[in-house]
Amino acid sequence: MGGVYAPGGASETPITLLRATAATRSLLVAAVGRAALDGPGGADAAQVVVVDVTLLPTSEAVAAVAAARAQHAEAAVLVVAASAEPALVGGLLEAGATSLLPADATPDQVRAILAGVRAGAPLVDLRMVRPTLDAHAQHLAVLGGRDRAIIESLAAAVEAKDAVTSRHLHEVSRLACQLAAEITPDLAGREDFLFGCLVHDVGKIGVPEAILAKPAALNEAEWAVMRRHPVTGADVVRPLGLAPMVEQIVLHHHERWDGAGYPHGLEAQDIPLEARIFSVCDALEAMTATRPYRTAMPVHDALAEVHACSGQQFDPSVVSALERGLDRGRITLAAAQDTAPVPRKRTSGLVGCDPA
């Protein structure tokens, strides 16, 4: 089934050809300039093993490469494949193929790869691997597009349900990304973080509009319903297979640093950092926007309120980061000073920073 080639003379790289077809044999002979039926040292001395799987179905091709790899642990295993079908390429690489060689390669290409072997360079034929990489990238893009579509859909649902507060979704998300960048750039760069911010209130889908838009104080029963929205939201996003961070923000954006928040009463650093960052922005934006039950608070006053709540409602380090970012111009507030008259004041029993 195989022979040993000593391309370019006995001092050159010994090659063992497995499962040779006439075409592959001819190609190798043309590439190395001469054929050697039994080179010095025999198959055991091979530095390159060429496995021709052009005539094999995928499972047998993968098995043949795995067998070659097992028998020649130290050699470069070069696989001649007839197709760049992603499942085949992935299987061959996983089975131990060092590189792939197109069945229609030219002698020059073979020589270039063999030269790479002799130089110890990695053997990667991009022409063969590219379709696999492209397919993988396409798959990720499809998944990413799907996630974005889900987020946009959920955000639109919240906007339709809660017209009173939903207008702050994009502003609070922008602000949260700026604050996250001040604390941990890795987090700010994650799309999952933005997604979590955009759908943080998706659980309000389960809160009656009479409560969401009530222009007066909520009674205890109504607050009990309102306080369920983080858990409802987590139930909504969990089955969607989004990144865990999205659910963390949805579930914990009303926790408080002092443990008096909801739904779980988590305390201090037990609250996920992304939720601690978001909650500060949510409160700040809520205070500077007009609601049915109160006027917009001036930005200066809202910042003072956030500062006063540091260490109680908010993580002090997050509040410090906000103030530092504002001082240095890395965080900007786009809060509109909406001074429209407001009918009544809601008294919730919660501190002034709570956005509900």
Type of residue numbered 168: H
CB 289 within 8 A of CB 335: yes
Q: Which residue is nearest to Fe ion (CB)?
A: 201
Q: How many residues bind Fe ion (CB under 5 A)?
A: 1
Piece in contact with Fe ion (CB under 5 A), picked from 36-44, 77-85, 193-201, 306-314: 193-201
- 97 versus 281: smaller Cβ distance to Fe ion: 281
201 part of the interface to Fe ion, by CB under 5 A: yes
- 147 versus 201: smaller Cβ distance to Fe ion: 201
- 19 versus 204: smaller Cβ distance to Fe ion: 204
Structure tokens at 170: 């994009």
Any bridge partners for residue 76, and if so which?
48
- 283 versus 322: smaller Cβ distance to Fe ion: 283
Q: How far is the CB of 227 from Fe ion (least distance, A)?
A: 9
Structure tokens at 164: 């009173």
Piece in contact with Fe ion (CB under 5 A), picked from 38-46, 195-203, 244-252, 332-340: 195-203
147 part of the interface to Fe ion, by CB under 5 A: no
Q: How far is the CB of 312 from Fe ion (least distance, A)?
A: 18
Q: How far is the CB of 203 from Fe ion (least distance, A)?
A: 7
Q: How far is the CB of 297 from Fe ion (least distance, A)?
A: 18
Type of residue numbered 219: N
- 85 versus 235: smaller Cβ distance to Fe ion: 235
Q: 35 to 74, contacts with Fe ion by CB under 5 A?
A: none
- 91 versus 203: smaller Cβ distance to Fe ion: 203
Q: How far apart are CA 221 and CA 60, in angstroms?
A: 67
Q: How far is the CB of 222 from Fe ion (least distance, A)?
A: 15
CB 166 within 8 A of CB 289: no
Piece in contact with Fe ion (CB under 5 A), picked from 198-206, 244-252, 267-275, 291-299: 198-206
CB 26 within 8 A of CB 54: no
Q: How far apart are CA 160 and CA 140, in angstroms?
A: 30
- 110 versus 242: smaller Cβ distance to Fe ion: 242
Long-range CB pairs of 125-131, under 8 A, 24+ apart, other chains included: 125/99, 125/100, 125/101, 127/84, 127/102, 128/81, 128/84, 128/89, 128/99, 128/100, 128/101, 128/102, 129/89, 129/93, 129/100, 130/84, 131/84, 131/85, 131/86, 131/89
Piece in contact with Fe ion (CB under 5 A), picked from 88-96, 135-143, 197-205, 323-331: 197-205
Report the sign of the C-alpha dihedral through residues 241, 245, 251, 253, in that order.
Answer: negative
Binding site for Fe ion (CB under 5 A): 201
